[in-house]
Amino acid sequence: MGAALVKGENGSLAQSRVVVSVRSAAAIEVSALLVTAAGTVRSDADFVFFNQPTAPGVLLAAAALEVSFADLPAEIEQLRVVITLDEPGAAFGEFAAPVATVADPSGNVLYEYRIDGLGSESVVIALELYRRGAEWKVRAVGQGYAGGFAELVTDHGVQVDDAPASAELPSAATELEVRTVPGEAALSFEKRGQLDMRKRAVAKVLVDQGAWGIRARVVLVIDKTGSMQKQYRNQVVHRVVQRMIPVATQLDDNGALEAYLYALSFAKLPDITVAQADEWAQTYLHLGGTHAGIDYDRIGGRNDELPVMRDIMASLRPGDGPTLVLFFTDGGFANKRDISALMREAAQLPAFWQFIGLGRANYGLLRSLDELTGRIVDNAGFFALDDIDRVDDGELYARLLGEFPAWLRAARNAGVLR
């Protein structure tokens, strides 16, 4: 049990990292404002809330703020922890007093503040973490804002048009409650923050497309042909892996990516997990040589998509749940007749094939997939990325998942999915 604070009281924080959370009988949102000595944010990026869960040194995860003091910018003098009621028209005085807690990363409570005396407030600054020289301290604030959420953020320099008012905040349980999978806790603070942002970008696309809550097996296929040398040398494919993991966390039951590399033949690789993604990329993303017992030279250096596609198809059964195949390639697909026949056959199976072109290349048949006739459903999509590093996460996931929900509906109507 940590030290109990009363309103206005402060305490020292010797820890380099702390976790701030608030218990409440009411449904609340927790947010934070990172402010300078002037009492305002530097920009809207210093406002942390569920739809913008990270700022330098701060991560909002599972309704708790994880704070790394060493990573907070030097200009930031205070971090103000805000609690907002989810229900429009409700007031904190209608519920038992909320309790704010400051703990170390292991969960040991350092301070606890019971926020008594609240009445008509719907928005309250609960705590303030602040600098005193080289030291960080915590102060029990418990200050409500009569003007509500919009007034609070405006007073702190946030552009209110870019920050939704409390009554407009979507319910995290119905829209952007992202899934957490095993292994996330082992990531560094920075990697967890990046993963969380990407998971939310995926979740937003699924919500917008009416596909939130869908569970699907996710398979990643990456081109290993010689023409991909630049993409491997510059670790573009490594970054592809990192950006596909959030898709699996929100769709796949176990949050892992199944993985293949292909050229003339293919290698079925171990699944990619959140915790082991970096190690996986260093172990398995190669164009030649022998690595982890796999002879990469035997896979070849030219492309033939048919063997790897047939292997994936062989793992599908009518009546199975949906599979999303994410197929990254820099071109080829010249065997138009056989691949077209295979795609018609594959349309009977519960999988959607999303092909993504990497670099500037001749993609052949892929550009005309939408025009392919003789399929029970349109089971494939294609888009090309000249430079995937220049495409932000929101756009990438919108394009990556844009056709998948429509296929789900069509496949159900056609009896491909049960």
User: Given 3-state DSSP classes, what are the helix, strand and coil percentages for the chain, each rounded to the nearest 5?
Assistant: 35, 30, 40
For the segment 67-108, what is each residue's pLDDT rounded down to a tens digit? 999 999 999 999 999 999 988 778 899 999 999 999 999 999
Does 361 have pLDDT greater than 50? Answer: yes
Q: What is the DSSP string of 206-246?
A: HHHTT-TT---EEEEEEE-SGGGHHHHHTTHHHHHHHHHHH
What is the mean predicted confidence (pLDDT) over 114-118? 93
According to DSSP, the β-strands at 28-35 and 78-85 are antiparallel
For the segment 263-274, what is each residue's pLDDT rounded down to a tens digit? 999 999 999 999
Tell me the C-alpha distance between 28 and 376, whole Å. Answer: 47
According to DSSP, the β-strands at 10-13 and 135-144 are antiparallel
* pLDDT of the residue at 166: 37
Q: How many angstroms separate the most distant Cα atoms in the chain?
A: 76
Pick from 27-36, 183-192, 217-226, 397-406: least confident = 183-192
Does 322 have pLDDT greater than 50? Answer: yes
User: In sequence order, what E strands does 133-216 have?
Assistant: 135-144
For the segment 129-155, what is each residue's pLDDT rounded down to a tens digit? 999 988 999 999 998 875 667 767 777
Q: What is the DSSP string of 268-292?
A: EEEEE-STTHHHHHHHH--SSSEET
For the segment 155-202, what is each residue's pLDDT rounded down to a tens digit? 788 875 443 333 333 333 334 567 888 888 777 767 887 888 899 889
Q: Mean pLDDT, the chain, as a whole number?
A: 88
Using the structure block, give the residue that is written with the tokens 């206005």.
Answer: 8
For the segment 230-264, what is each residue's pLDDT rounded down to a tens digit? 999 999 999 999 999 999 999 998 999 999 999 99
Q: Is residue 378 classed as helix, strand or coil in its secondary structure?
A: coil
Closest CA to 381 of 358, 361, 359, 353: 353
